[in-house]
Copies of this chain bind each other. A is one copy, B any other.
Amino acid sequence: MAAPAPADKRRVILDAAVRVFAQQGFHTCRVADIADQARVAYGLVYHYFSSKEEILDTLFLERWDVMLEAIAEADAQQRTPREKLYAIAAFIVDSYRHDPELMKVIIVEVTRAANTFGRTHLAKIREAYDRIAEIVRRGQADGVFRQEIDPPFAALAFYGLVEQVLTGWIFDDEPPGELELERAKTLIVDTICRGLDS
């Protein structure tokens, strides 16, 4: 009567892939490494996925859709633009807190892979920028943000900072503490909104 193993092997493989991709990198790891990590037979990987690439695609799309929803939701609330940006930064930072390896994979292997995955998922990635830009645009319309900076550029600044912060953590030897995570959320928004000038 013991509960059988969960056995959603597809999920197990995806989770294993996250760890392997994060630790070795997509190009460096072998499909065998994923199978080993998942404690699954070699061939089963190909039962669920048609290629190594498809695994990465799946991981990216799963996560990116969640993020797009989070952005949409942040935008839908009755909040100031600044609060919306905070919500987005918070979501991404919390995503990192929850599964840093997954975020590492998405940032390092997809977002930045200009020749392969980056191009494949370009539209999806830009959708996020566009939604952030839209928030800025309405902030300008409301007079909360100034007109001089065009919204797509502002989105680059915002997303660029978020990604750079995460990249810093990814490269660091020790993971960020709770305090650092929380403080990052505030600092990101404060820096983007108010700038460096005194």
Interfacial residues, chain A to chain B (CB-CB below 8 A):
23-25, 27-28, 82, 104, 108, 112-116, 118-119, 122, 136, 139, 143-150, 153-154, 156-157, 159-161, 163-165, 167-168, 170-171, 187, 190-198
Contacts and interface: CB of A to CB of B under 8 A. Distances in A.
Contacts of A150: 187
The 7 A-B pairs of least Cβ separation, nearest first, read A195-B195, A160-B164, A25-B115, A146-B198, A160-B160, A112-B112, A194-B195
B190 A149 contact: yes
Contacts of A198: 143-147
A19 to B, nearest CB: 13
A108 B119 contact: no
B197 A194 contact: yes
Contact of A114 (B116, B122, B167): B167
Given A190-B149, A196-B139, A198-B145, A164 B157 contact: yes
18 contacts: A25-B114, A28-B116, A112-B167, A114-B167, A114-B171, A119-B171, A143-B198, A145-B197, A145-B198, A146-B196, A153-B165, A154-B191, A156-B165, A157-B161, A160-B161, A160-B163, A160-B164, A160-B165
A180 B144 CA distance: 26
Contact of A164 (B114, B163, B193): B163
Contacts of A193: 195-197
User: Which of A112, A116, A149, A193 counts the most chain B CB atoms within 10 A?
Assistant: A112
User: Which of A139, A156, A170 counts the most chain B CB atoms within 10 A?
Assistant: A156
